Amino acid sequence: MLSLPLICLTFIGFASPILAQSVFAHVIVGNTYSYTQANWATDIATAAAAGIDGFALNVGYLDTINPLGFVQAQLDNAYQAADAAGFQMFLSFDYLAQGAWDQNAVIRTVNGYSSHASQFKWQGKPLVSTFEGADHAGDWAYIKAQTNCFFVPDFSSQGAEGAAGKPNVDGLLSWNAWPNGATDMTDDDDKAYVTALNGRPYMMPVSPWFYTNLPLWSKNWLWRGDDLWHHRWNQVLNIQPALVEILTWNDWGESHYIGPMPPSDSAIPTGAGPYVQNNPHDAWLKDLPHYIAAYKNKSRPDTSHVTFWYRLNPGSGSACGAGTTCNTPTQGQVALNPQECDIDAVFFTAFVPDTALATVNVTIGGSTQIVSATTPGIFHSSVPFNDMTGDVTVAVTASDGTEIGPVNGAPISAACAGADVNWNAWVGGS
């Protein structure tokens, strides 16, 4: 049994000097080319119901000048759907995936959407972000003069101090949302950002998982997931950043999506299907009203549920292919055996009343393990596979009489859907 103490959801330990504001989810617009405006409206309604305030819309330069112009059409759909729903949007210009943006193209795009009612603004200015692009930080003096935007880029490649020292920066987003190696994620880097920004707003990243296996792009690694979703929200409560950005809503290729599965499998990148299809993550959305309410210093919902996640393939005892590493040398990291970082376990968070003690029963292949909380309220823990495979069931009882489940999960199997062990998470809940 692996049990972890819960950090109190009202604790504030390293407060950013700017009050908590909004929570956004990062959307890869390039993965929405089959969307209609109705699809955007559905995603927006789903996100808003979870307490998410808006979407950060990631756009690559080549996609916007593509003769088909699908990204332009999708930005139109996204903003129009958000206008109708009272949802918020801001643009995030990707300077890495498809190369640097032309500054005039940035200006046209920002000015094309800044008048929408759904455009998120900070200090009355349309907020604009990036994915990298630190080498082009100087362009933003002219861009800001032409758009009156508030510039909150991700320059994570420069580190906190280096990014904060770049010209024209009004605030910063960090992309450092996953642990390095077999240790849990800390909030040390977040504290470094808050300090380096010296009063400017910090947009803190939160992500539940990371696994990619895309031979076409020579990518095959994971970063430690396991308890990350719960730990990271507790760190948000400790840091109290000005803004939060969830990474991501729909990045299927890197397995950190929290949105529903796409309306068409064509949205899933080539090679990612075996580890994405039949691996839903949207049960994590049900946790957000609790975490976000605590972040905004509001009372959390008076509802109870359980969310649980695990891998469908054990890392040990599988006859499937290998090759996946924990960490990636392409980013200067030491490659490790993936089992050192992501363990064979069922992780769960039981959301019960603040005065109740939860007891969780996890059954794998007919064998049941029982874990009981020692403090009342939200209870996060895990149980190991213990070399068991088969059907998974989770049930919760609480000292106040609350009963949740039993809830059935997908079976754990040594047989793989593709050639390799699937290191993606399967996420379910009540």
Domains and CATH numbers, the chain: 2-295 (3.20.20.80), 305-429 (no CATH)
The CA distance from 281 to 347, in Å, is 13
The CA distance from 112 to 75, in Å, is 10
- One digit per residue, pLDDT tens: the chain, 430 residues? 434 444 444 444 565 556 658 999 999 999 998 899 999 999 999 999 999 999 999 999 887 766 556 888 999 999 999 999 999 999 999 999 899 999 999 999 999 999 999 999 999 999 999 999 999 999 999 999 999 999 999 999 999 999 999 999 999 999 999 999 999 999 999 999 999 999 999 999 999 999 999 999 999 999 999 999 999 999 999 999 999 999 999 999 999 999 999 999 989 999 999 999 999 999 999 999 999 999 998 888 989 999 999 999 999 867 687 789 999 999 999 999 999 999 999 999 999 999 999 999 999 999 999 999 999 999 999 999 999 999 999 999 999 999 999 999 999 999 887 778 999 999 999 9
Over the stretch 140-152, which tens digit does the pLDDT of each residue have? 999 999 999 999 9
| Of 97, 81, 72, the residue nearest 37 (C-alpha) | 81
The CA distance from 429 to 229, in Å, is 15
What's the number of CA atoms in the CB half-sphere (13 Å) around residue 123? 12
Here the tokens at position 415 are 């047989």
Is the four-CA dihedral 365, 368, 369, 375 of positive or negative sign?
positive
pTM above threshold 0.75: yes
Task: Please check whether residue 129 is in contact with residue 56, taking contact to mean a CB–CB distance below 8 angstroms.
Answer: yes
| 119-to-81, 110, 274 alpha-carbon distances in Å | 12, 10, 36
The CA distance from 379 to 374, in Å, is 9
Which residues fall within 8 angstroms of residue 400, CB to CB, at 6 or more apart? 352, 353, 355, 356
The CA distance from 48 to 84, in Å, is 13
Over the stretch 288-341, which tens digit does the pLDDT of each residue have? 999 999 999 888 898 999 999 999 999 986 768 778 999 999 999 999 999 999
Distance of CA 132 to the CA centre of its chain: 18
Which residues fall within 8 angstroms of residue 208, CB to CB, at 6 or more apart? 225, 228, 229, 232, 256, 258, 281, 284, 309, 425
